[in-house]
A and B are shown apart, each in its own frame.
Chain A
Amino acid sequence: DAGVTQSPTHLIKTRGQQVTLRCSPISGHKSVSWYQQVLGQGPQFIFQYYEKEERGRGNFPDRFSARQFPNYSSELNVNALLLGDSALYLCASSSGTSGYTDTQYFGPGTRLTVL
């Protein structure tokens, strides 16, 4: 079975630009979470979506937004990029059927570099 897939793998942008990252969850999973992992640090929670509704939001500015589609795939958008947004962006998929403590399975990530 296919795991969580993310695209693109790598991305290079310049300050002030906008970026869209994409995620497809494991088949049958209805919940998608986004995390930011800066080099040398653990992942930090950005958003969680379930059935197209935002279920949770981490401590990130409004430049970060996301949405979930009817097929449960998701997009993360970041506007007005800053150098500090350079990181590995991880998508995690969970079933969503047993509440908030489902196991989260991570994709390979999108590495964003902001110059």
Chain B
Amino acid sequence: QKEVEQDPGPLSVPEGAIVSLNCTYSNSAFQYFMWYRQYSRKGPELLMYTYSSGNKEDGRFTAQVDKSSKYISLFIRDSQPSDSATYLCATIIQGAQKLVFGQGTRLTINP
């Protein structure tokens, strides 16, 4: 079993839709949670960084962490074609050196 599970998609939605991306993790020691966006043939770009359970909002993006169920989500409101990319969830244990990534979900927003 992978430490972080993420549905690879692909996910295709119309412009303006609300997008929900999700990951589950198995190790309760994971304490920090991130979402990265990766355009084709580019490096990952940090979108959101959260520590505790609850919601964190930044513009059209909301990250949600539920540590009790080991579930993390990213919501994108008013989705745009420019949001089309692969979204990677990642987590890390405090004191550890490595980010542990999910497989990534490939998202396409259709005009």
Contacts and interface: CB of A to CB of B under 8 A. Distances in A.
Contact of A41 (B32, B44, B103): B103
B105 to A, nearest CB: 10
Given A40-B8, A42-B104, A101-B92, A108 B43 contact: yes
A100 to B, nearest CB: 5
A106 interface: yes
Contacts of A104: 46, 99
Contacts of B43: 4, 90, 106-109
Interface residues of B, number: 28
Given A33-B97, A40-B104, A58-B98, 6 more contacts: A4-B43, A42-B88, A45-B100, A100-B94, A101-B92, A106-B45
Nearest to A107: B43
A101 B32 contact: yes
Contact of A45 (B6, B36, B88, B97): B97
A101 B98 contact: no
Interface of A: 4, 33, 35, 40-45, 48, 55-56, 58, 88, 90, 92, 99-101, 103-109, 111
A48 B98 contact: yes
A106 B103 CA distance: 17
Contact of B97 (A41, A44, A56): A56
Contacts of B41: 88, 109, 111
B97 A55 contact: yes
Nearest to A59: B98
A40 B97 contact: no
